[in-house]
Structure 1
Amino acid sequence: MKIEEKDDKVIIDDFEIDGHIDEERCCSNCKFNLVYYEDFDAYFCPKCNYWTESKCSDPDCNYCPKRPEKPLPNK
């Protein structure tokens, strides 16, 4: 997996998102740095391809209802 950060974007292989790599937060499973995904206001592990937090229960939330099951497609 190739991962890089450029101008408030994170590029994972060829998939580009708005966000940043958090150098201080690591996956509890694999210890890889977490990535903040701005579109969904949530952190995820790009190596494990899972969200580190559950969706909220707020019916008026602008983020959680649109959040996909997995952060990265085709993985």
Structure 2
Amino acid sequence: MKISEAYGKVIIDGFEFYGQLEENKFCSQCKSNLVYYEKFDTYFCPKCNSWTESKCSDSHCKYCPNRPEYPLPLK
């Protein structure tokens, strides 16, 4: 898996989005660095392809209702 950052975006195996690679936050399962995904205002583990937080129950939330099941496209 190739991960890079440029101009406020993260690129993971060609998939590009606004966010940042976190230097001091790690996945509780695999210990990989977490990535912040700006569009959904939450963190995920690129290695596990899983969100670190569940969706909230706020019906007016602008992030959670549109958040996909997995952060990265499935291969």
Scaled to the shorter chain, the TM-score interval is over 0.9
Q: TM-score, normalised by structure 1?
A: 0.98
- Aligned counterpart, 1:30: 30
- Aligned counterpart, 1:52: 52
- Aligned counterpart, 2:5: 5
Moved over 2 A (4+): none
C-alpha RMSD over aligned residues: 0.6
Equivalences, count: 75
Distance 2:22 2:2 in 1: 16
Secondary structure, counterpart of 2:58 in structure 1:
coil
1:69 aligns with 2:69: yes
Q: TM-score, normalised by structure 2?
A: 0.98
Distance 2:8 2:33 in 1: 16
How far the C-alpha of 1:74 sits from its partner, in A, is: 1.6
How far the C-alpha of 1:62 sits from its partner, in A, is: 0.2
Question: Identical aligned pairs, as a percentage?
Answer: 68
- Aligned counterpart, 2:17: 17
Q: Which runs of 5+ in 1 are unaligned?
A: none
Q: Which runs of 5+ in 2 are unaligned?
A: none
